[in-house]
Structure 1
Amino acid sequence: MARFVFLSVALLSAAAALTGVGAAPIRAKRAVTQTAANFQELSYDQFQISDGVGGDAQTQANAVFVDPFANTDLTTVSSDVLEALNSMAQAAEDAETAQFDPEIAAASGAAADALQVGKIKNKVLKLTGEVQVLNIKIAQAKAAGSSTSDLESQLQDEQTKLTTDVGTDTSNAGKPSQGVVASSGADASSAAASSSSTASSAVASGSSTASSAVASSSSTASSAVASSSSTASSAVASSSSTASSAVASSSSAASSAAASSSAAASSAVASSTTAAIEGSSTATANSAAATSTGVVTQTAANFKQLDYSQFQISDGVGGDAQTQANAVFVDPFANTDLTTVSSDVIEAMNNMREAAESAETDDFDPQIAAASGADADALQVGKIKNKVLKLTGEVQVLNIKIAQAQASGSDTSDLESQLSDEQTKLTTDIATDNSNAGKPSEGVA
């Protein structure tokens, strides 16, 4: 009897360990994630991006205003959504003039510096919203056969401002950034509490089963222990990897304790725990494979030159080139001080950009010339996506060079002139890709 009581206590300890881990705070994500299908106006505190550090404003602003419309035909965006986008961009502008400016004027030292970095991030947010609204209006005007010259002139002006502010934010990479509203982690904490409660209940239930089995017989107890350990491990695996480790450790302790009294019970616990954890690992791997886009994901820490086939974005449909190109050349450097990017990484990015350019002239152009009908159309859509990819790489390399030149006190006027030229081309090609939203796109790799 004593050995089974000891085993039950060990399982209850596993439940306690799970409860402790599950209750750990989870960092809240500030911005609310939306999609084109459910896009609605948010209050400024729900989408502001100024808290944190500088250097990642473009990625964060895109997540608010651009990414929700990836793979969406912009001609289908409703007037309600357009109004919501406009109102949110206006809210960011109001935050700049009504809050950032007076708070910066009243602050000093590090506090003023952090608010200034936050203001620049907010300007990137505001202008990204304005540019997206103009892109949608242009796409819809073209579809209706209306003139877009005034809209395109406005777009050029706003894009120029955006390019300047993105460059400033890039030079602020890693610097403290302060917003003008408070954020809440209540939703994340609630989710954590719910997850912990669910997993803890599962473990407690398993422990109760084991305890009841102890009262009946040795054989029944051993079976119940194996079942309860498996239940607990499975619950942990579905709750969180951290909790899984905690319960796996507790279950292991329980198994070891039981082994001193009953080898059969220990074997059952170890077997069921291992099976549950291995099953979780397999499921995680399968899930990751299922969500793979075929493009190799890199980070600033491990960025290396890839073959064109590993990062090309032309296969699929039009309309999402900006998001996909950013994933290759921009997103890996979010929260990275661009002044620290090595010459090897810059060379790798340059070579990848040149590979995209070679694909355009050596592959897309002759294949489009030789094709006809739907095949030629799909290749043309793919070529535009490839141009967005190429130019995004060029713009990012220039942003890095400008940041490093500014850090060394060198003149950046030539680089900034090049950046303006490339950004103008990129803006044009992004607009063309947006108008191709949903159309078949064919690559050449």
Structure 2
Amino acid sequence: MRFSSVAVLFSLTAAVLAAPIERSTCSDAAAASSSSAVAASSTTTASVSKAASGVLTEKTYNEFSVSGGVAGNALAEVNAEFPIDLNNLADVAASDLAIIVKAAQVSEDAETETGGFNDAIDAAGGTKTTAGEALQNGKIKNKVLKLQTDILRLQIEQAQGKSGLDSQIASQQTKLDSNVSLDKAAAGEASTAIDFAGSD
């Protein structure tokens, strides 16, 4: 009888040791936790990348110039070349701001520096000639490009914390409005671009 009790006890112990441990719940929880962590990490990385990425691509002046074609729609053409979200200037990428700053400067150079619009108009015999008039229209469109990109630059800097820019923005906006009016007044007329070295 004693032997039988020992045998039964031994059998029960062996059965318990042989039974599989219920690990699926723990394993599933760990796997879910790991997946969540990976997903969260991926989301964070994506968010950082999105915030840091820009929408503009560096181009040469000849590539982003709007002076060719016809007069009348310069501002819309500039905005198409520099599609910045005007409702979210505070989040404009540093790379985009750098491109805009360079574009404004190169556009200024294309007007006044050697080989620019002023030289081209003089070489064409002035604004009274057909060629000179078309170049003058191109120069006005270039002014719209220069002023709009400079205003964008100032507005972005202001939105990102720089103060004391209100008067500069107002001054440039007045000049822009004047040149947009001149461009619209010449709507449909030929407008000639120049071949000018430089990049944004």
Q: TM-score range by the shorter chain?
A: 0.5 to 0.7
The question of 1:120 aligning with 2:110 is answered no
* C-alpha distance 71-118 of structure 1, shift in aligned 2 (>3 A): closer
- What code does the residue aligned with 1:92 have? S
* Alpha-carbon distance in structure 2 between the residues aligned to 1:114 and 1:80: 34
1:124–1:165 contact (8 Å) kept in structure 2: yes
- Structure showing the higher helix proportion among its residues: 1
Deviation track 1:394-429 (CA, whole Å, cap 9, x = no partner) reads: xxxxxxxxxxxxxxxxxxxxxxxxxxxxxxxxxxxx
Higher relative contact order, structure no. (Cα contacts within 8 Å, ≥ 6 residues apart):
2
Which of 99, 107, 131 is matched with 2:124 structurally?
107
* Alpha-carbon distance in structure 1 between the residues aligned to 2:175 and 2:140: 11
The question of 1:87 aligning with 2:108 is answered no
- What code does the residue aligned with 1:77 have? V
* C-alpha distance 159-111 of structure 1, shift in aligned 2 (>3 A): same
Q: Which residue of 2 aligns with 1:52?
A: 69
* C-alpha distance 131-53 of structure 1, shift in aligned 2 (>3 A): same
Structure with larger Rg: 2
* Contiguous gaps of at least 5 residues in structure 1: 1-35, 183-445
The runs of at least 4 consecutive aligned structure 1 residues that moved more than 4 Å come to none
Report the CA distance between 1:72 and its aligned residue. Answer: 6.0
Total equivalences in the alignment: 139
Q: Which residue of 2 aligns with 1:77?
A: 92
- What code does the residue aligned with 1:41 have? E
The question of 1:167 aligning with 2:181 is answered yes
SS of the residue 2:165 aligns to: helix
Deviation track 1:175-210 (CA, whole Å, cap 9, x = no partner) reads: 11000029xxxxxxxxxxxxxxxxxxxxxxxxxxxx
Which of 55, 65, 90 is matched with 1:38 structurally?
55
SS of the residue 1:69 aligns to: coil
2:54–2:92 contact (8 Å) kept in structure 1: no
Deviation track 1:293-352 (CA, whole Å, cap 9, x = no partner) reads: xxxxxxxxxxxxxxxxxxxxxxxxxxxxxxxxxxxxxxxxxxxxxxxxxxxxxxxxxxxx
* Alpha-carbon distance in structure 1 between the residues aligned to 2:178 and 2:94: 30
* Alpha-carbon distance in structure 1 between the residues aligned to 2:57 and 2:87: 16
Report matched runs for 1:379-398 at 5 Å.
none
1:41–1:88 contact (8 Å) kept in structure 2: no
* Alpha-carbon distance in structure 2 between the residues aligned to 1:169 and 1:73: 28
* Contiguous gaps of at least 5 residues in structure 2: 1-52
- What code does the residue aligned with 1:96 have? E
Normalised by the length of structure 2, the TM-score is 0.65
Normalised by the length of structure 1, the TM-score is 0.30
2:55–2:96 contact (8 Å) kept in structure 1: no
